[in-house]
């Protein structure tokens, strides 16, 4: 596969750390020092579908296509207003596509899981052009009285259109079932037959555990992918990592012994947008003219599950 076009969209409201100080026992200093985050975008009048559709349209346009050229849509999403139909179905209708589509949930690692699925479909000759949309509103999963979690997240959507090519050098996916470090239990409708009360809870996160697991797993994935492909670190133009926390990115960089310039970031402006973070960053880099044909990009992400995903991709646009 290769990437043919990218797009992204964010809610219009930027919520700064100072604005959080107005109702939370927190400070700009604490959030900046521990996470690097200065502001995040939050939904007001928008709905997640609006962002998903905007990002999708931009990616299709960037690829020089129309919705009629798509023959599959994969949407990576953890939560949105609709349990059913899938967000991908709503996107399909809104952009005027007619192809099959489905949603996946690999949490923050969803973009790379989707790239891997797309690669399989393209290889099998079952599709020519696939739209991937990562649309997330993690700010609707957290308790806004819980300073441990709510300061970390932001809403957004990132998209890519992929087609046949040999840009994908390797993909590495892992899943290890560890609910206790990061989960949310949503409220479902009651029935007359349920035995006992069912609990629901906003996002629960063991921050330090997630931090350590993220750093060690991403570093191991990146080293394994470089070794497998024989790509020397000096050939890597950028490490495009999941934007959860600047300290996580910096720790991975330190363990790889790499230069800061190779680690682009926008977590300071968006917070953690879950699976949307990698395609949003990629789109911003592409539109800012930072990517050239032939650049080797190493991507890596981690999320609830626990999931990790990495890939090495040549930029071919
Ligand atoms: N403002 C002020 N103080 C705070 C805040 C806040 N927003 N949040 C926590 N604190 C306090 C804690 O209560 C604690 O106080 P105490 O010592 O009196 O008990 C103190 O700060 C230290 O808390 P720690 O949790 O130990 O702080 P740490 O340095 O580990 O930083 C953080 C916390 C930022 C959450 C860090 O652990 C982290 O980034 N973890 C990874 C989070 C992550 O990436 N999550 C998502 C990954 S998966 C996905 O993307 C969905």
Residue 15 lies in a domain: yes
Q: Which of 165, 196, 229 is the last residue of a domain?
A: 165
- Please, which residues bridge with residue 204 across strands? 183
* Residue numbers of the chain with a pLDDT score lower than 50: none
- Domain boundaries, position 46: 2-165
Q: What is the predicted pLDDT for the residue at 197?
A: 86
* Same domain (yes/no): 58, 123: yes
47 included as an active-site residue = no
Instruction: Provide the pLDDT for residue 61.
Output: 98
Number of domains in the chain: 2
Q: Which structure tokens are listed for 9?
A: 């969209």
- Active-site residue 265, yes or no? no
pLDDT tens per residue, range 72-90: 999 999 999 999 999 999 9
Residues 213 and 290 occupy one common structural domain:
yes
Do the beta carbons of residue 43 and residue 139 sit within 8 Å? yes
Check whether residue 8 and residue 58 sit in a common domain: yes
- The predicted pLDDT at position 312 comes to 98
**Other Cβ atoms closer than 10 A to 180:** 10
Q: Which of 106, 138, 165 is the last residue of a domain?
A: 165
* pLDDT in the model for residue 18: 98
C-alpha triplet 173, 177, 178: angle, nearest 5° = 115
Q: Which atom of ligand 1 is nearest to the CA of 274?
A: 50
H/E run at residue 307: strand 307-314
Looking at the domain assignment, is residue 190 inside a domain?
no
Residue 196 located in a structural domain: no
Which CATH number goes with the domain that contains 228? 3.40.47.10
- The pLDDT of residue 196: 86
Q: What is the pTM of this model?
A: 0.97
Q: Which of 34, 36, 150, 301 to mutate to test the pocket of ligand 1 (most atoms within 8 A of CB)?
A: 34
Considering the domain architecture, whether residues 118 and 216 belong to the same structural domain is answered as no
Q: Assess whether 99 carries a catalytic annotation.
A: no
Whether the Cβ atoms of residue 12 and residue 39 lie closer than 8 Å to each other = no
Q: Which two tokens stand for residue 259?
A: 């230069």
Strand partners, 302: 308
Q: What is the reported pLDDT for 225?
A: 98
């Amino acid at each position: 596969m290769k990437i043919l076009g990218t797009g992204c969209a964010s809610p219009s409201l930027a919520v700064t750390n100072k604005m959080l100080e107005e109702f939370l026992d927190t400070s700009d200093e604490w959030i900046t020092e521990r996470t690097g985050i200065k502001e995040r975008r939050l939904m007001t009048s928008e709905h997640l579908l609006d962002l998903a559709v905007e990002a999708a349209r931009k990616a299709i346009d960037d690829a020089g296509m129309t919705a009629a050229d798509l023959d599959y849509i994969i949407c990576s999403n953890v939560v949105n207003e609709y349990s059913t139909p899938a967000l991908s179905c709503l996107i399909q209708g809104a952009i005027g596509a007619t192809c099959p589509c489905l949603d996946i949930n690999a949490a923050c690692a969803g973009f790379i899981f989707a790239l891997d699925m797309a690669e399989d479909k393209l290889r099998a000759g079952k599709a020519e052009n696939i739209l991937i949309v990562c649309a997330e509103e993690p700010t609707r999963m957290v308790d806004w009285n819980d300073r441990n979690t709510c300061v970390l997240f932001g809403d957004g959507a990132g998209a890519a259109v992929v087609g046949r090519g040999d840009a994908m050098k390797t993909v590495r996916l892992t899943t290890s079932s560890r609910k206790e470090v990061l989960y949310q239990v949503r409220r479902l409708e009651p029935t007359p037959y349920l035995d006992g009360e069912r609990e629901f809870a906003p996002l629960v996160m063991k921050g330090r555990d997630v931090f350590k697991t993220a750093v060690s797993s991403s570093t191991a994935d990146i080293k394994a992918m470089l070794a497998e492909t024989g790509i020397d670190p000096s050939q890597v133009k950028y490490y495009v990592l999941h934007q959860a926390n600047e300290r996580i990115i910096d720790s991975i960089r330190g363990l790889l012994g790499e230069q800061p310039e190779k680690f682009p970031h926008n977590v300071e402006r968006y917070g953690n947008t879950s699976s949307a973070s990698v395609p949003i960053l990629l789109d911003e880099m592409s539109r800012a003219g930072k990517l050239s044909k032939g650049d080797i990009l190493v991507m890596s992400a981690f999320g609830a599950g626990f999931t990790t995903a990495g890939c090495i991709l040549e930029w071919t646009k």
